[in-house]
Structure 1
Amino acid sequence: MKNPESQQLIVAGVGIELLRKRVRNVNFRIYPPDGRVRVSAPLRMGEREIRRAVEAKLDWILRQRTRIAEQPRPPAMRLESGELHLVDGRRCRLEVVDLPGVSRAELLPGDVLRLQVPPETDAAGRLRVLEGWYRQRFTDRLPQLLARWEAVVGRRARDCRVRRMRTLWGSCSTGTGRIRLNLELARRSVRCQEYVLVHELTHLHERGHTRRFYALMDRFLPDWRERKRELEQHPLWRYHDESGVSAL
């Protein structure tokens, strides 16, 4: 569903969704899986100036769309026994057990992810149980991660929570000090979780992705580029049912 306040533009043959917001600069986002382009621009910036800004970034936009188009599409998951699911970056075999009583998930020796649900539970119900397990597992780890990396970065988050996010690995509100981390990170390695957390904490020093920001990242987490590549190695997990696709 498109934002009711958005405007559609065509620049050099590329469709652009334009949103006017309380921002200082023109910001660009390219969304998988189809390379949709969204531009956020200051409220009072004229359309001609916005078009010039898009044209100046056109080569970058086209490169990003090509990169997204070339990414392998992950297999659709139906939450059935035998599927492979990532847990802390490891591939674990899902074992669905139909038993009356309390629904739960647990990680067993041998990288077996056991999902216990009542016999009548459909795929959507299994998803809710598994997602809740991932969320709790990641949330329980956050205090330890924050204690370690806030000390390194020298900034403290006022609040840090796990959320389902469609396009971002994390976000930071520099005005409030609130950090949000993508639930998908619960499936990735601790190294990847740390990279995103440090990235967002660093925004409490520097709001934008400036040279200073990346210099600070180099100081706080010297191997952040390697961790970023690891994070992007696996595409987002997908779940299929008759109503469509839902990402964890």
Structure 2
Amino acid sequence: MILNISGIPIEVCKKNIKNMHLYVKPPNGNVTVSAPLSMSDEAIERFVRTKVSWIKKQVSKFDNQLRQSEREYVSGETLYVWGKQYYVQTQYGNKNSLVLSGDKAVLTVRKGSTAQQRENFVREWYRELLKAEVARLLPKWEKITGLKAASWQTKYMTTRWGTCNTKTGKIWLNLQLAKKTPECLEYIILHELVHLVEKKHNERFVMLMDKYMPMWREVKTTLNGQTLDYME
């Protein structure tokens, strides 16, 4: 069911849960409500209408992010790495590189390179950064939980921070996690490991998350509230 309130489409999903949950999800600010199976459509709409001001505020944040102009990876732009903002300083050289120094991201590119070529390089730089951190953190969480991923891979995604295949045991992690604070990556790693044994976001899932990371709700809020650096 789709509600349209104050010009904002809101997807309603009824589930076997006890309480209502309202989400404004990155990267586009899509609004979703999870409601108990027994709750009437009228009650759901009344609940959503009490949250309209909050919804508009959150959606506006994502709208502002999406209106950022397309990056050219030139001096003066910004990049986020592990939650910290860096100012791009572009220079020419024979070999592409990206070095963090203080609050600067010194990007060396070949003269005449296009914005797309620079973006491709930066994206692969993020990939290598994320892969190194996942290789360090995944074994840690596998040991803590006793759960093990058969394999893992990084992938640029626009609607999910991570996903998994419960049949094969494979985990995918969003490339953009390298822009977030480190605890956000740990939260998503744990989230996907738990999904290997519990597909749904039900009571068992919540119980396991609470057991292994009591502060996961706060980290989730941080993750969804941090700015998504433009990358298309």
Moved segments of 4+, more than 4 Å: 9-17, 29-32, 52-68
In structure 2, C-alpha distance between the alignment counterparts of 1:54 and 1:172, rounded to whole Å: 32
In structure 1, C-alpha distance between the alignment counterparts of 2:95 and 2:111, rounded to whole Å: 11
1:69 aligns with 2:59: yes
The alignment partner of 2:108 has SS state of: strand
Deviation sequence 1:90-112 (CA, Å, 0-9, x none): 1112111112x22122223x132
Deviation sequence 1:56-81 (CA, Å, 0-9, x none): 86678886964652325223343221
Report the equivalent of 1:217. 209
State the TM-score, normalizing by the size of structure 2.
Answer: 0.76
Report the CA distance between 1:181 and its aligned residue.
0.7
1:206 aligns with 2:198: yes
Provide structure 2 residue ranges, at least 5 long, that are not aligned to the other structure: 17-22, 33-38
Amino acid at match of 1:149: W
1:97 aligns with 2:107: no
Q: 1:233 to 1:30 in 2, by over 3 A?
A: closer
1:80 aligns with 2:57: no
Report the equivalent of 1:107. 100
The alignment partner of 1:85 has SS state of: strand
In structure 2, C-alpha distance between the alignment counterparts of 1:118 and 1:136, rounded to whole Å: 20
In structure 1, C-alpha distance between the alignment counterparts of 2:141 and 2:204, rounded to whole Å: 19
Q: 1:224 to 1:121 in 2, by over 3 A?
A: same
The alignment covers a number of residue pairs equal to 212
RMSD: 3.3
In structure 1, C-alpha distance between the alignment counterparts of 2:162 and 2:55, rounded to whole Å: 21
Greater helix fraction, Structure 1 or Structure 2: 2
Q: 1:57 to 1:152 in 2, by over 3 A?
A: farther
Report the CA distance between 1:186 and its aligned residue.
0.9
Contact 1:35–1:65, Cα closer than 8 Å, also in 2: no
Q: More relative contact order in 1 or in 2 (CA 8 Å, sep 6+)?
A: 2
1:1-248 equivalence runs, <5 A = 33=28, 35=30, 66=56, 68-72=58-62, 73-74=64-65, 75-76=68-69, 77-99=71-93, 101-108=94-101, 110-239=102-231, 246=232
Contact 1:35–1:68, Cα closer than 8 Å, also in 2: no
In structure 2, C-alpha distance between the alignment counterparts of 1:58 and 1:174, rounded to whole Å: 34
Amino acid at match of 2:162: G
Q: 1:176 to 1:66 in 2, by over 3 A?
A: farther
State the TM-score, normalizing by the size of structure 1.
Answer: 0.72
In structure 2, C-alpha distance between the alignment counterparts of 1:82 and 1:12, rounded to whole Å: 40
- The answer to which of 162-171 and 56-65 deviates more is 56-65
Q: 1:34 to 1:192 in 2, by over 3 A?
A: closer
